[in-house]
Amino acid sequence: MRETNYYHIKRFGTLEPFSMIIAGDRYYVITSPEDTRPFFADVKAMTTDGFLDRALLAFGCAPERLHTLWQRNTPTKVNPKGKNLIHLTQDLFKHDLVPGPTLNVLLERYQGALDELLSWDRLVGAYPSLVSTQTEAISLYDICADFIANANQIVLFDRALLAIDPDMAVEMRTFTDELWKLVHRSRLVDTTEVTRILRQYSSAFKSYLQLPPEARPNETPVIRTLLETYAELGIHEDDRAAMLVMICWAGDANAYKAAYWVLAYILYDPQLREIIRQETAPAVGPDGKLDWPYLAKRCPRLSSIYHEVLRLTKRDVIVRQVVRDTALAGKRLRKDSIAVIPTCQLHDNPDTYGADAASFNPDRFLKQPGLAQTTFFPYGGGRHYCPGRYFVEMEIYGLVALMLNRYEMDLAWAAPFPRRDESLVTLGISRPVPGDDLHVTLNWKEGNKN
């Protein structure tokens, strides 16, 4: 059996919290499932604010103005409790991205992006065609990154952003791979490339912000509300652009990698591919329109695969800043330190997921749906679940359903299954090892209308 990170920790004979010093900071590492509940519950002693500061600085917010983003504001209709801008932003996204009318609007916008980006005319323009109904071999990683990055821009922002910088999506993969260099700065790390891309993105959003509202009428309501709030509070132009880059990246970074791994596992097993094609087929109308409630409620095998992919590929850590002395599992955690949960330790745990925890099992969550309610934290935990989790799940289900039912999608040639890259510091889902990929061909199905 392949050893996981869990087994390396277990060799020490305990899953008790332990501490280490990294670059002068003390980290407390939480690895036991039993310790996760108090970790998330102690919201007074352990907060996300310190990590958010680091992220805001990484995306380009000025240190001398950081306090303006955290100061309480005068209550308004949009912000009745007068929260600071950071917490208000979190609230706005939580409101708009939970199941309900506002999420339905976003899914309709996403349907439009699907229709455009997955049309045959667009695909053969982006990827050279060998014959009239079949593409040449296409990198699955390329097509997922290209599609998700462009789709999310179309969903969130007005198309004026694409007109300002048509190549924003092209750089997203490199930016995501290298962003850790800006979050965990060191004189030993070369930040030239990631800084160049950040400047490109910041410049595009500054130009977007300079447009009058009537020149960007189709941005989603949550973005419109945020931009109006930035103006009302007098937030500096550079900080506005930095926060929009952060929002844009957050929508793309994990979604395209999750889509890649889901499709990779499905396509690698012809029997599984046919099972998922048949399961999702009733959700795809003759005109390509998707039945979102059907995808959400009546595709249990696809749901199981999606959750299993998150379990195996989400290899980052959940971070909290310890802002006052506290205790956890009988250990004292001191103020001004950092507490972390490496999610891979929990997701690799055979006591929770069984003896085959190191392997992909497409039916794991189908047979035991309660596993998704245990120590399963691909979206964070406690008060700070990722607000976009419902949209991303539907985004990937919709992509899978259309790709399998609109096209004959096959592996172009036999290849080893891609390995996840554990050598790279990740802020979410792991990428495949560079050079590992699956290549696919798309055959146009007769009877499709676009």
Whether 292 contacts 104, CB under 8 Å: yes
Among residues 326, 349, 348, the alpha carbon closest in space to that of 337 is found at 326
d(CA 264, CA 418): 8
> Residue 144, annotated ligand binder?
no
Continuous segment of H or E residues that includes residue 409: strand 407-411
Among residues 407, 152, 126, 198, the alpha carbon closest in space to that of 288 is found at 407
Distances (CA, A) of 58 to 49, 251, 431: 14, 17, 21
Report which residue type is found at 28: Y
Burial of 238 by CB count in 10 Å (0-12 exposed, 13-18 middle, 19+ buried)? middle
The encoded tokens of residue 217 equal 């009428």
Question: For 324-329, which contacts have Cβ atoms below 8 Å and span 24 or more sequence positions?
Answer: 324/44, 324/45, 325/45, 326/42, 326/45, 326/46, 328/17, 328/28, 328/30, 328/35, 328/38, 328/39, 328/42, 329/16, 329/17, 329/30, 329/32, 329/34, 329/35, 329/38
Q: 46 — phi, psi (to 5°)?
A: -130, 120
CA 11 to the chain's CA centroid: 32
d(CA 98, CA 244): 21
Read out DSSP for 250-314?
HHHHHHHHHHHHHHHHHHHSHHHHHHHHHHHGGGB-TTS-B-HHHHHHS-HHHHHHHHHHHHHHB
Coil, strand or helix at 108: helix
d(CA 223, CA 78): 13
Q: 62 — phi, psi (to 5°)?
A: -80, 135
Among residues 10, 27, 76, the alpha carbon closest in space to that of 321 is found at 27
Neighbours of 275 (CB within 10 A): 16
Which parts are annotated binding residues for heme?
386
Which parts are annotated binding residues?
386
